[in-house]
Amino acid sequence: MPDRVQAVDFQAGKLVLLDQTLLPSEKTFLHLDDVADVWEAIKLLRVRGAPAIGGAAAYGLYLGVRGVPDDAGMPAFMAKLREVRDYLASSRPTAVNLFWALDRLVGVAEAATGDDVAALKARLLDEAHAIKAEDEAMCRAIGEHALTLFDGVDAVLTHCNAGSLATMGIGTALAPVYLAAEQGRTIHVFSDETRPLLQGARITTWELDQAGLPVTLITDGMAATVMRRGKVQAVIVGTDRVAANGDVANKIGTYGVAILAHEHGIPFYVAAPSSTIDFATPDGDAIEIEERDPDEVRRLGGRQTAPADIGVFNPAFDVTPARYVTAIVTEKGVVTAPYPENLRKVVLGG
Amino acid sequence: MPDRVQAVDFQAGKLVLLDQTLLPSEKTFLHLDDVADVWEAIKLLRVRGAPAIGGAAAYGLYLGVRGVPDDAGMPAFMAKLREVRDYLASSRPTAVNLFWALDRLVGVAEAATGDDVAALKARLLDEAHAIKAEDEAMCRAIGEHALTLFDGVDAVLTHCNAGSLATMGIGTALAPVYLAAEQGRTIHVFSDETRPLLQGARITTWELDQAGLPVTLITDGMAATVMRRGKVQAVIVGTDRVAANGDVANKIGTYGVAILAHEHGIPFYVAAPSSTIDFATPDGDAIEIEERDPDEVRRLGGRQTAPADIGVFNPAFDVTPARYVTAIVTEKGVVTAPYPENLRKVVLGG
């Protein structure tokens, strides 16, 4: 089994985070027991990826209330819990999974009416562990379902990072690659560097290399040539949100990759935890696309790569229309078109 | 008329080159009268773009023989001319236009049997000026033909740099933008940054900005979204070589842009001096694609952006099949499919 780096772990009473802002140059783990350090780690993107952020926040909430004396009384404990919850929620207010994880722990505490403070602390740590275990299981299930699509696939192309470092398990888009390796089968990954923030270059190549898995880095503009030369038999990417009709929001550049795959007759798969499928969003047009700081495009690593005041268009995400999506792989199963019906069937079971 | 920066000029007996390796941070002109400095400028890509290199080499050859005494005798002069020709040719042995320009001057000298040394020196400088004047005229003619295709076009997307800084005139792909500006009409340019070497970010945005023309920089992965949102009505790029069947070799990433344009119903134009149309190359499969240093992809401006030893695929160029090319714009006219017949008709007149 590949020697995967854990993005989020809990060891010897401390939250252990890989500091992803130092990649690819340094492999540094932070051992945190102060909630202020957890807040900062989320704020500064030392931990990133929705599932990994949720897990870090859950452990952070536990760390933030661990010091409450066991004899403080439940009202004081609950007040502190809500205070720490609000504090951690302010670290990255746009991260939906952050709120979900924090509120899940608060809900456990609210429901645990018979507990004393000591018992409730233990229960909150258990819940954080449960979130991590569920995430690990979700990743494996996505990997297993994705592998059913990978007969004859010995190389895939991916964009951005939806690997183990975005989750607490073996990733989503990269899960089938890790699972295949466990089974003694090699799936080569071509990784788009993914400008402007280079998550592919900095993170995807690094995590696969650390696990001893073969990876080839390309610039985003090389994907078409990789496909034309037959170097990959599938594309698989992650997603931030899937609309009810199957439109897929993901890192900027994904939509272009989907068109290129379509034109070359290569299947385009989206690995999507069911939590990312948003039935309240009818289609991609309803997804607002954030525009980010122009200096992300004008500069790279502190170096100016374009005139300092030049106009920039810097959308953070794009939307891939469902017609380009060959299948959406959730932990509950593989979904194919027609998505409006089949997403509900597979994800909601109805 | 926009205040265009001249990449190559000849002033007060010196070759004046913009040092393009310092862009976009510094605007520095080199005033060269030593052929060794010209050799170095070509070698180190201070001057780049086939027409600009040819022009710099022609002036460089003149500078290299200018110091031969007028009474040296023709045999000694011709020996020196050939020696300098070979020396300059060694600066960038893969640049076809370099050889073309040098051999054109040598041919003039060989044909000028009645001249003395002083007269021949003057004739060589005239020939270098003629190369520059022809290049300027070629650019304008391409611009005029391209503008006939631009009814209703108020914004275009381009990839890499086929602008004034690649030529001695107003560029090839950007020529219609400069010409439109002369006519009081604004064509907005969206410029792909063009990884790995960032010619779009460093050079295209800079030259347009210097000329006071509106330009928006995007990363290569954003082109699909620019098209989907209707921000551009055409794509226009340059080319290194066009095969006899209309297949187009150009900077890596061009092929993907062509597919995206096709999918969005946006015309894809190639600005091609007739000198780049190679009737000896039957199709794109016959064009060998150089692979370049992996560190171009793993690093950026001295900074490591990926693990130091990660595998890289780094093709310098790609080939866009003729079926994605809406028209090829030469200085002799606009060529549309079927290219095998029409390229010959327009370019060879037969």
Is A24–B231 a contact, with Cβ atoms under 8 angstroms apart?
no
CA dist., res. B290 & res. B293, Å (int): 10
Q: What is the mean pLDDT of residues A122-128?
A: 97
A240 is catalytic: yes
Within 8 A of A196 by CB-CB distance, chain B residues are 219
Largest interatomic CA distance in chain B: 68
Q: Classify the C-alpha dihedral A257-A258-A262-A263 as positive or negative.
A: negative
Take residue B251 and report the two structure tokens written for it.
Answer: 């900077």
Please check whether residue B215 is in contact with residue A310, taking contact to mean a CB–CB distance below 8 angstroms: yes
Structure tokens at B121: 């020196």
CATH architecture of B140-348: 3-Layer(aba) Sandwich (3.40)
Contacts of B20 (CB under 8 A, 6+ apart): B7, B45, B46, B47, B48, B165, B203
pLDDT digits (tens, 9 = 90+) for A127-167: 999 999 999 999 999 999 999 999 999 999 999 999 999 99
The answer, yes or no, to whether residue B3 has pLDDT greater than 80, is no
Q: Please tell me the distance in Å from A188's CA to the nearest CA on chain B.
A: 11
Q: If you search the block for the tokens 């400008």, which residue do you land on?
A: A195
pLDDT band at A65 (very low <50, low <70, confident <90, very high): very high
Crossing angle of helices B117-147/B96-111, nearest 10°? 140
pLDDT at B95 over 90: no
Q: How far is residue B220 CA from its own chain's centroid?
A: 20
Per-position DSSP letters for B292-325, written without gaps between them? --THHHHEETTEE-S-TT-EE--BSEEEE-GGG-
Q: What 3-state class would DSSP assign to A40?
A: helix
Mean pLDDT of chain B: 95
User: What integer best gives the mean pLDDT of chain A?
Assistant: 95
**pLDDT on residue B268:** 99
State the nearest Cα–Cα gap between A83 and chain B, in angstroms. Answer: 39
Instruction: Please report where in the chains the tokens 């640049």 appear, as a residue.
Output: B95
Chain B within 8 Å of A25 (Cβ-Cβ)? yes
Name the pairing type of β-strands B14-18 and B8-11.
antiparallel
Nearest chain A alpha carbon to B159 = A221
> Do the beta carbons of residue A277 and residue A347 sit within 8 Å?
yes
| Span(s) in chain A for CATH 1.20.120.420 | 8-139
Instruction: Give me the mean pLDDT over the A14-21 stretch.
Output: 97
Q: What is the pLDDT of residue A96?
A: 80
Q: How far is residue A217's CA from residue B307's CA, in Å, rounded to a whole number?
A: 10
CATH of segment(s) B8-139: 1.20.120.420
In this predicted structure, what is the pLDDT of residue A325? 98
Q: Is the pLDDT of residue B301 over 80?
A: no
Residue range(s) of every CATH 3.40.50.10470 domain in chain A: 140-348
SS3 B232: coil
- pLDDT of A97 > 90? The answer is no
Q: How many CB atoms lie within 10 A of CB B82?
A: 15
Residues of A in contact with B312 (CB under 8 A): 216-218
Helices (H), chain A: 35-43, 50-66, 74-89, 96-111, 117-147, 175-182, 199, 205-210, 223-228, 254-263, 295-298, 339-343
Q: How confident is the model at residue B96 (pLDDT cuts 50, 70, 90)?
A: confident
Residues within 8 A of B (CB atoms), A 118-177 only: 159
B200/A298 Cα distance (integer angstroms): 11
Q: What is the pLDDT of residues A222-266, one digit of tens each?
A: 999 999 999 999 999 999 999 999 999 999 999 999 999 999 999
Mean pLDDT along residues B146-163? 98
SS3 B98: helix
- Structure confidence by residue, pLDDT tens digits, A177-209: 999 999 999 999 999 999 999 999 999 999 999
- Residue A3 has a pLDDT of 72
The answer, for B265 touching chain A at a CB cutoff of 8 Å, is: no
Chain B residues in contact with A159 (beta carbon < 8 A): 221
The pLDDT of residue A2: 54
pLDDT category, A350, cuts 50, 70, 90? low
pLDDT 10s digits, A212-221? 999 999 999 9
Least Cα separation, residue B231 to chain A (angstroms):
11
**What are the pLDDT digits (tens) for A321-343?**
999 999 999 999 999 999 999 99
Q: How confident is the model at residue B2 (pLDDT cuts 50, 70, 90)?
A: low
Contact list in A for residue B217 (CB cut-off 8 A) is 297-298, 306, 310-313
Higher pLDDT: A319 or A115? It is A319
pLDDT-derived band at A94, boundaries 50, 70, 90: confident
Q: Does A221 touch chain B (CB under 8 A)?
A: yes
Rounded to a whole number of angstroms, the distance between the first and last alpha carbons of chain B is: 37
- Give B245-283 pLDDT, tens digit per residue: 999 999 999 999 999 999 999 999 999 999 899 999 999
For the segment B203-220, the average pLDDT, to the nearest whole number, is 97
Q: A241: which 2 tokens?
A: 């949100």
The pLDDT assigned to A115 comes to 83
The identity of residue A329, as a single letter, is: V
Establish if B12 touches chain A: CB-CB under 8 angstroms: no
Percent of chain A with pLDDT over 90: 92
What the block records as the tokens of B186 is 């604004």
Looking at residue B350, its pLDDT comes to 63
Please tell me which of the candidates B260, B303, B318 has its beta carbon nearest to residue A303.
B303
Q: Is residue B11 exposed (0-12), middle (13-18) or buried (19+ Cβ within 10 Å)?
A: exposed
Is the overall model pTM greater than 0.90, yes or no? yes
